[in-house]
Amino acid sequence: MSASARFASQKRVPLIGSTRKPFDVSQVRQFRSYAADEEPIKVSVILRPKEPVQPGVRLTREQFAQRHCADAGAEATVRAFAEEFGLSVEAARERGRRTLQLKGSREAMERAFGVALKRQETGVGAFRLREGEIMLPEELQPHVVAVLGLDSRPQAKSHHRIATPRAGNVSYTPVQVAQFYGFPPDASAPGQTIGLLELGGGYREADITAYFQSLGLPAPNVTAVSVDNGSNSPGNPSGADGEVMLDIEVSAGVAPGAKVAVYFAPNTDQGFIDAVTTAVHDSTNKPSVLSISWGGPESSWTEQAATALDQACQDAAAVGVTITVACGDDGSTDGVSGGGNHVDFPASSPHVLACGGTKLVANGTTVTTETVWNELSLNEGATGGGVSTLFPLPTWQANSNVPAAPTSGGGRGVPDVAGDADPSTGYTVRVDSETTTIGGTSAVAPLWAGLIALANAANGQDAGFVNPTLYTDPSAFRDITSGNNGAFSAGPGWDACTGLGSPHGAAVIAALATPQAQEND
């Protein structure tokens, strides 16, 4: 056998979990994908770690990269495979990402991965699509977790809701919400960087300066980080800009002094996962917390993408990065046509803090009522929540009376925590020179990210994976016992609408003060 035919002559086997369903344009509601049918195509090949990541072991980013990078032999195999099929290879700068990017023509990609790629024009953009499985040479298959980027369909939607003007609506600044939830007065987060994942839109410096001036706070230092050619591209206030500005203004508004790093990526599974791994292993900006306000029903993800993203979230826990994730704005169905109960991913990952939504009414600085956010009767959304079909019940949820899992492999309850999300009691924000009110669980993820940043600064350490600690301290929460999100109702203790509840800010900070174990060289 000649060296040039090493892989071409091998038996082809399916990449586990790579099956792609036909594209359903009805599930795409908000934003266009960045990618259409550009040439050349660039895919991300995610490899297995040379040593499995151990739960509960804290490492520096440098230690993690050394211990849990890809095996050198596996990388060499992928490089040889790429060369044989005429693909160029570029390794991610951060070795802990275990990502090689392969670049080449459509024809070369089809031959290399045993797929047929087609371009499809739709009302929401032009996409490159594949269906069925990715077929790998049998020598390559054991080393690969996922091959992402062959298909450029939109993967996620943002979980923000612009308020509909209506009598009785109120809005609050992030500073006011922090007061309602008992964040320590005058608390700040110097030395912390909050990461934000964005799959579209952008921000304008002038808006950030004007907004924080209105709050009486110094404007945060905001850095845009490009992932897979994503960019800070502000457009209009009704689009993704609303998500970007909500995330910046809420997170930095409740955690003054923190820097903000915004990771802009295409709205594809490749862009989503590359953005998470870039943020987690970013040794330049070094975010201690990452807020994600984008997601989609578990059923909309391929198994390989869900596995790769969950693994990235597990890696985050190992290097001390907390990930907060919005759990969706469509109630217990998560917007899936045909009914049934579904939860949003990556909120359902057992390695993130899933954030649900409430309706908060206050008098002065005091909360008068707080109930589950549910405006489904007005077609204005409701908090997501329910039980995962992909991930089993975590040990730290074992005593939370999570409802029975709908599948044998499921069981993880969503959400973990909550906060104000109803647009009718939403957040006053500035977007593209306009002041507006926005809600959604998209607001809760950056709210909790800001609180974690405050805790990190106050405690002198990064909290990392917070779920096991928070589930042991119910006194750190305002228990929400009224309302429902469709199929699930709130009640005493954890529930599938608001999780443990909304925060008692100072108590959360105190709960996270327990020293975190960290390995040293």
Question: How high is the pLDDT of residue 30?
Answer: 42
> Any idea what DSSP says for residue 40?
S
Tokens representing 124 are: 């929401």
* pLDDT surpasses 60 at 1: no
Indicate if the alpha-carbon torsion angle 19, 25, 31, 32 is positive or negative. Answer: positive
Question: How high is the pLDDT of residue 514?
Answer: 81
Of 75, 243, 420, 462, the catalytic one is 243
Q: Is residue 288 part of a domain?
A: yes
pTM of model > 0.85: yes
Contact 271, 199 (CB under 8 A): yes
Q: Is residue 2 part of a domain?
A: no
Question: How high is the pLDDT of residue 335?
Answer: 94
* pLDDT surpasses 60 at 312: yes
pLDDT band at residue 44 under the 50/70/90 scheme: very high
CATH number at residue 405: 3.40.50.200
Question: How high is the pLDDT of residue 338?
Answer: 84
Q: Is residue 521 part of a domain?
A: no
Q: Based on the fold, state whether residues 49 and 197 are members of the same structural domain.
A: no
Q: What is the pLDDT of residues 107-137, one digit of tens each?
A: 999 999 999 999 888 777 888 999 999 999 9
Give the count of domains, the chain. Answer: 2
Of the residues 148, 175, 203, the one at which a domain ends: 148
- pLDDT (mean) for 386-399: 97
* pLDDT surpasses 50 at 403: yes
Domain that holds residue 102: 9-148
Contact 183, 451 (CB under 8 A): yes
Q: Is residue 260 part of a domain?
A: yes
**If you search the block for the tokens 């975010």, which residue do you land on?**
287
- pLDDT (mean) for 191-218: 98
Q: Based on the fold, state whether residues 138 and 258 are members of the same structural domain.
A: no
Q: Is residue 516 part of a domain?
A: no
Question: How high is the pLDDT of residue 296?
Answer: 97
Q: What is the pLDDT of residues 243-270, one digit of tens each?
A: 999 999 999 999 999 999 999 999 999 9
Quote the mean pLDDT of the chain.
94
pLDDT band at residue 3 under the 50/70/90 scheme: low
pLDDT band at residue 520 under the 50/70/90 scheme: very low
Q: Based on the fold, state whether residues 42 and 166 are members of the same structural domain.
A: no
243 is catalytic: yes
Q: Based on the fold, state whether residues 313 and 396 are members of the same structural domain.
A: yes
Question: How high is the pLDDT of residue 34?
Answer: 39
Q: Based on the fold, state whether residues 333 and 357 are members of the same structural domain.
A: yes
* pLDDT surpasses 80 at 515: no
* pLDDT surpasses 80 at 52: yes
Percent of the chain with pLDDT over 70: 95
Q: What is the pLDDT of residues 472-501, one digit of tens each?
A: 999 999 999 999 999 999 999 999 999 999
Q: Based on the fold, state whether residues 184 and 71 are members of the same structural domain.
A: no
Strand, coil or helix: what is 50?
coil
Tokens representing 393 are: 């019940």
- The helix, strand and coil proportions of the chain, stated in percent and rounded to the nearest 5, come to 30, 25, 45
Q: Based on the fold, state whether residues 142 and 291 are members of the same structural domain.
A: no
Q: Based on the fold, state whether residues 106 and 172 are members of the same structural domain.
A: no
- pLDDT (mean) for 205-233: 97
Q: Is residue 4 part of a domain?
A: no
- CA dist 435 and 515 (Å) reads 41
* pLDDT surpasses 80 at 27: no
Q: Is residue 432 part of a domain?
A: yes
Question: For helices 269-280 and 303-318, what crossing angle results, to 10°?
Answer: 10
Q: Based on the fold, state whether residues 493 and 446 are members of the same structural domain.
A: yes
Of the residues 125, 148, 171, the one at which a domain ends: 148
Question: How high is the pLDDT of residue 190?
Answer: 98
Contact 475, 152 (CB under 8 A): no
Indicate if the alpha-carbon torsion angle 439, 442, 448, 453 is positive or negative. Answer: negative
Query: E-strand spans in 227-314?
Result: 259-264, 289-292, 294-297
Q: Is residue 506 part of a domain?
A: yes
Higher pLDDT, 493 or 25: 493
Question: How high is the pLDDT of residue 33?
Answer: 40
- pLDDT (mean) for 308-326: 98
Of 75, 94, 207, 247, the catalytic one is 247
- CA dist 395 and 390 (Å) reads 16
- pLDDT (mean) for 391-408: 96
Q: Based on the fold, state whether residues 114 and 174 are members of the same structural domain.
A: no
* pLDDT surpasses 50 at 32: no
pLDDT band at residue 196 under the 50/70/90 scheme: very high
Q: Based on the fold, state whether residues 328 and 438 are members of the same structural domain.
A: yes
Of the residues 131, 148, 165, the one at which a domain ends: 148
**Closest by alpha carbon to 354, among 386, 319, 330, 318?**
386
> Which whole-number Å values give the CA distances from 7 to 16, 183, 361, in the listed order?
19, 58, 63
Contact 371, 358 (CB under 8 A): yes
Percent of the chain with pLDDT over 90: 89
Q: Based on the fold, state whether residues 258 and 401 are members of the same structural domain.
A: yes
Question: How high is the pLDDT of residue 316?
Answer: 98
Q: What is the pLDDT of residues 347-371, one digit of tens each?
A: 999 999 999 999 999 998 899 999 9
pLDDT band at residue 5 under the 50/70/90 scheme: confident
- pLDDT (mean) for 395-415: 96
**If you search the block for the tokens 């009704």, which residue do you land on?**
238
> Any idea what DSSP says for residue 52?
P
